Amino acid sequence: MKHLHSLLFLLLGCTMLAHAQKYTISGYIRDAGSGEPLISANVYDSRSGSGAVTNTYGFYSLTLPADSVSLSFSYIGYDASHQELYLGKDISLNIGLAGAVQLSEVVVSAAKNGARIEERTQMSQIDIPIAQIKKVPALLGEADVLKALQLLPGVQSGGEGQTGLYVRGGSPDQNLVLLDGVPVYNVSHLLGIFSVFNADAIKNVTLTKGGFPARYGGRLSSVLEINMKEGNMQEFHGEGALGLISSKLALEGPIFKDKTSFLISGRRTYADLIFAPIINANEEPGTDLNVDLYFYDLNAKIQHKINDKHRLFLSGYFGSDVFANEFKEADGRFKGGIDWGNIISALRWNWQLNNKLFANTTLTYSRYRIDILAEFEDRFDEQTETYSAKYFSGIEDLAARIDFDFIPSPNHYIRFGASAINHRYEPGALALNAEFAEEQFDTLVGSQNAHSNEFALYLEDDMQFGALKANLGVHASAFAVDGEFYSSVQPRLGLRYLLDNNWSVKGSFATMTQYINLLTSESFSLPTDLWVPSTARIKPQQSWQAALGAARTLGEDYEISLEGYYKQMHNVISYK
């Protein structure tokens, strides 16, 4: 009997230990057809009531007690997947979801991926599926990301047909616009009629207007995250379109199936080709007029799967606007024009260190430049005189960044990381040249390039205590330029309290610091703006914003969110 009691006690102890033991299920959720990661896809265990949401790369991690689990994997527009299994050890489980065929009306609204709106800590954030953006009535037949965002609350445009975003009283330069994690300094084509973002190359769009998490910094008013598609790992796909003034083509597919994929997408306007016959028909005898009026851009991306835990991504954007004309006649010539554009590239390596820790390392390059040219040539008495003036300005960044996602339990989601940016400025220079009577004059005015370095560290934790959920974080930054040094510690706080299963109240507080400034002239619609660093005379811009709100889900198809905010900005500059 004594041995029987000992055996029963041992079995009971083992059973209690097994129930106390916890294990982790982790993996990736992707589109079953293309292999594209699904961002903010839901993972939910109906037996424990615990859940998780995928990150930007489709990675999830969910720690549960050792027991039978009933998992549901879901994403808007896709058929849900269900898995029943016994969790007796750490498990790696990758899921592919198949797209559901649905017909719906065209409504610009926030996406419902991830947790329901009343469950999320994050306030003032809007996700728009790219499929909805393509359905919005488009100017001249070209679907536009920024035009769709201008239809949303808290966002205004600079004028009819313009692409700039004015978010909660801020100016366009106070928006941190990221394409695959790389800052974009000029977002417009054709003097603001179109944006630089080709909808055929984009996977998702997220706009954050307040309550900024600690991982973001460097701007005052908003964060606009745009991620490019990664390329189909399974099969080749292509799409194209002929518009009123532009055409575009996108191709994607595997280089090596299930291993390496590519995406390439380009577009070009042909207004110059349309106007050329009209111009030629109205030319006067003895004259010649050529006009260039177009923009082009190219998105490209390569993804390589090293193994299940390591992936490499190389992405790039190249775009330019050209507006030029050349007029020739017997006794002279005039040539003038303006061109501007962006070059953006990123090399990313993400890897899963273990079933609770995910890392992403990024090297980026971003350049924006504008050139304005005017050139005159006069011929008389067998002599030629030439005069030219060229204005140029721009900004160039080299940056490195590392980010970690640590998910120790369903009640904590910890993010931390660091970044370093080297800024190079060309704050406006004028090159003058003249040749006449065997003499030459050549000078450069205002060519004082500047360099600065910007560093940042951040830490945040999205934590839950019953009905209360909080995102607590801090963003610390430093900026050095020409012997001047600035630093800033920016606390961030987001709170959510569940009143019942459908209602929650929320609050947020965030401070932001911006070290680079855009000097823009209100009297010109051309992109002649100057990016300059903070200096001894130009202090960094700063802001703080507090918000309160309530959120509720109505049935399966509707969400209600009501917010009020108060925002202060300091050291904001203007250019006259």
The arithmetic mean of pLDDT across residues 392-406, rounded, is 95
CA dihedral 396→300→166→162, nearest 10 degrees, is: 110
Q: Are 315 and 265 in contact (CB under 8 A)?
A: no
Q: How many CB atoms lie within 10 A of CB 63?
A: 21
Tokens of 547: 């918000």
Assign 137 a pLDDT band (cuts: 50, 70, 90): low
**The pLDDT of residue 525 is above 60:** no
Q: How many CB atoms lie within 10 A of CB 237?
A: 14
Assign 103 a pLDDT band (cuts: 50, 70, 90): very low
Contacts of residue 180, defined as CB under 8 A and 6 or more positions apart, other chains included, come to 226, 227, 228, 301, 313, 315, 344, 346, 348
- C-alpha triplet 344, 347, 348: angle, nearest 5°: 125
d(CA 206, CA 114): 13
**Poorest-pLDDT segment among 143-157, 372-386, 502-516:** 372-386
Of residues 460 and 379, which shows the higher confidence score?
A: 460
What is the per-residue pLDDT for 101? 54
Q: Assign a CATH topology to domain 20-97.
A: Immunoglobulin-like (2.60.40)
The arithmetic mean of pLDDT across residues 558-573, rounded, is 90
Contacts of residue 408, defined as CB under 8 A and 6 or more positions apart, other chains included, come to 63, 356, 414
Assign 391 a pLDDT band (cuts: 50, 70, 90): confident
Q: Are 373 and 337 in contact (CB under 8 A)?
A: yes
The arithmetic mean of pLDDT across residues 64-83, rounded, is 89
Q: Are 512 and 502 in contact (CB under 8 A)?
A: no
What is the per-residue pLDDT for 18? 43
The predicted-structure confidence for 374-385, as pLDDT tens digits, reads as follows: 888 777 767 777
The CA–CA distances, whole Å, from 474 to 55, 215, 456, 490, 539 equal 20, 8, 10, 6, 22
Of residues 346 and 133, which shows the higher confidence score?
A: 346
**What are the φ and ψ backbone dihedral angles of 277, each rounded to 5 degrees?**
-60, -35
What is the per-residue pLDDT for 151? 83
The domain segmentation of the chain, as residue ranges, is 20-97, 125-570
The predicted-structure confidence for 239-289, as pLDDT tens digits, reads as follows: 988 877 788 999 999 999 999 999 999 999 887 777 777 766 666 776 777
**Poorest-pLDDT segment among 47-56, 140-149, 469-478:** 140-149
d(CA 337, CA 99): 48
pTM: 0.87
280-290 in b/e form (b: 16+ CB < 10 A) is eeeeeeeeebe
**The pLDDT of residue 46 is above 50:** yes
The arithmetic mean of pLDDT across residues 82-98, rounded, is 90
Residue by residue, DSSP assigns 379-390 as: EETTEEEEEEEE
**The pLDDT of residue 15 is above 50:** no
Q: In what order do the strands lie in the sheet with 175-179?
A: 125-129, 202-208, 222-228, 175-179, 182-183
**The pLDDT of residue 110 is above 70:** no
547 CB burial (10 A radius; 0-12, 13-18, 19+) = buried
**The pLDDT of residue 187 is above 70:** yes
Q: Assign a CATH topology to domain 125-570.
A: Maltoporin; Chain A (2.40.170)
What is the per-residue pLDDT for 139? 65
187 CB burial (10 A radius; 0-12, 13-18, 19+) = buried
Tokens of 149: 């965002």
